[in-house]
């Protein structure tokens, strides 16, 4: 028998208490009392039973959304146990649940840990009440800090999401928020720039000229200062938007950035197995009615598509792209046809090729989009 194919699992929970104006994920607002906890778990189990996972080894599980912390831990735990069983997984693996402060406390964290969750990713986004209102968040700064203080002692690993690049937000403002988050003891921070997606409330406002964004200089200053602040606190900047204490990196995201296969389960979930990308029906009511036939879109990625994706994702990381691994996965040399662009970017200091790895130096990460586009 050949070696099992390392595969992660992503389980999408499609509901949240309110839709944020910047969010373009597959999610729908729902009242807390109306969440169909067991019915949704049953649907995911039905979808899982229709999937062929032979020859695969589970490396991580990630419950995203939406707001998975709205899901009753017992129902979520049933899904987690079934996913592990479907892969025949008995080893310890990273299991992450995305959470919002409004649906998280020490009791919820303890119940999640009891069913096998060992990592929480908490959507703090900001510790400024005015900016939280701008983002459409339901919690305030005090609520976010309360949630972090409650769960850090309970859960093995805790990550906090923060957002920068908002109107009027300067580097010093973000530094103060970051310092307060670090004081809670989190060991992982995702610091994202606010991006305007077309099919969102913010996208509509931006098209009408009614949404101001932070100037590029403020964006760059905030990015650089946050990196220095996190490094001084002992965090490694291992991906453009992610920082962690050594050994606390997100294994699920690293698997994704390295081009690993991932199974997608749940309404609106995307998966990619052996170069076949699938997307499930994003409408929860349709998914609940026919979970075994949830896939509404699929495409076979060409070898060149997979090389481009490997470059787009891998160059976001400090470790870069493992060229031999991409060649083994796609049958193509990632450098073929890109020799001139690679040489030009190396000369400018935008790229380094060291042994089997091609990477963008951290000092050039602010220019990452242009560098990757040049390689396409």
Q: What is the pLDDT of residues 72-124, one digit of tens each?
A: 999 999 999 999 999 999 999 999 999 999 999 999 999 999 999 999 999 99
Structure tokens at 213: 């964004």
User: For the chain, what is the mean pLDDT?
Assistant: 90
Segment 191-225, tens digit of pLDDT: 988 764 555 454 444 455 555 666 566 778 898 99
Beta bridge partners of 322: 357
Segment 279-295, tens digit of pLDDT: 999 999 999 999 998 99
Structure tokens at 106: 């020490």
- Confidence (pLDDT) at 344: 94
* 187 Cβ contact partners less than 8 Å away, ≥ 6 residues apart: 157, 158, 159, 244, 245, 248
Give the number of other CB atoms < 10 A from CB of residue 198. 10
Give the number of other CB atoms < 10 A from CB of residue 195. 13
Within 14-68, strands assigned E span: 15-16, 28-29, 56-65
Stretch 122-135: mean pLDDT: 89
Stretch 323-345: mean pLDDT: 93
Domain assignments of the chain as residue spans, ordered by start: 5-256, 302-376
- Confidence (pLDDT) at 323: 95
Alpha helices in the chain (DSSP H): 37-49, 73-87, 106-114, 129-134, 141-151, 171-182, 201-207, 216-232, 251-257, 284-289, 303-314, 323-330, 339-347, 368-375
pLDDT level of residue 132 (50, 70, 90 thresholds): confident
Domain 302-376: state its class: mainly alpha
pLDDT score of 51 more than 80:
yes
Domains 5-256 and 302-376 agree in fold: no
CATH superfamily of domain region 5-256: Aldolase class I (3.20.20.70)
- Confidence (pLDDT) at 91: 93
Stretch 337-344: mean pLDDT: 94
- Confidence (pLDDT) at 57: 97
């Amino acid at each position: 028998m050949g070696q099992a194919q390392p595969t992660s699992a992503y389980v999408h929970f499609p509901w949240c208490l309110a839709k944020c104006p910047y969010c373009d994920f597959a999610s729908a607002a729902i009242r807390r009392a109306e969440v169909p906890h067991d019915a949704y778990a049953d649907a995911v189990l039905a979808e899982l039973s229709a999937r062929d996972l032979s020859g695969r080894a589970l490396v991580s599980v990630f419950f995203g959304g939406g707001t998975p912390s709205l899901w009753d831990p017992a129902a979520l735990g049933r899904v987690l146990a079934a996913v592990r069983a479907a892969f025949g997984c008995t080893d310890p693996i990273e299991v992450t649940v995305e959470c919002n402060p409004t649906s998280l406390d020490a009791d919820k964290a303890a119940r999640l840990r009891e069913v096998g969750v060992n990592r929480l990713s908490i959507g703090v986004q900001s510790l400024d009440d005015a900016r939280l209102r701008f983002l459409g968040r339901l919690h305030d700064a005090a609520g976010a800090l309360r949630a972090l203080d409650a769960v850090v002692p309970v859960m093995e690993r805790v990550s906090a999401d923060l957002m920068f690049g908002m109107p009027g937000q300067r580097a010093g403002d973000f530094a103060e928020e970051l310092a307060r988050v670090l004081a809670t003891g989190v060991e992982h921070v995702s610091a994202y720039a606010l991006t305007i997606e077309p099919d969102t409330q913010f996208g509509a406002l931006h098209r009408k000229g009614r949404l101001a964004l932070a100037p590029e200089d403020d964006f760059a200053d905030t990015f650089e200062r946050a990196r220095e602040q996190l490094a001084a606190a002992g965090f490694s900047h291992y991906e453009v938007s992610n920082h962690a204490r050594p050994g606390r990196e997100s294994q699920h995201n690293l698997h994704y950035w390295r081009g690993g296969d991932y199974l997608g389960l749940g309404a609106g979930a995307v998966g990619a197995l052996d170069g076949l990308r699938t997307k499930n029906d994003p409408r929860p009511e349709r998914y609940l009615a026919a979970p075994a036939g949830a896939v509404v879109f699929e495409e076979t990625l060409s070898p060149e598509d997979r090389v481009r994706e490997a470059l787009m994702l891998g160059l976001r990381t400090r470790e870069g792209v493992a060229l031999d691994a991409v060649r083994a996965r796609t049958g193509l040399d990632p450098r073929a046809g890109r020799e001139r662009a690679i040489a030009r970017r190396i000369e400018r200091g935008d790229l380094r090729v060291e042994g089997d790895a091609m990477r963008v130096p951290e000092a050039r990460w602010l220019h990452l989009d242009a560098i990757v586009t040049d390689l396409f």
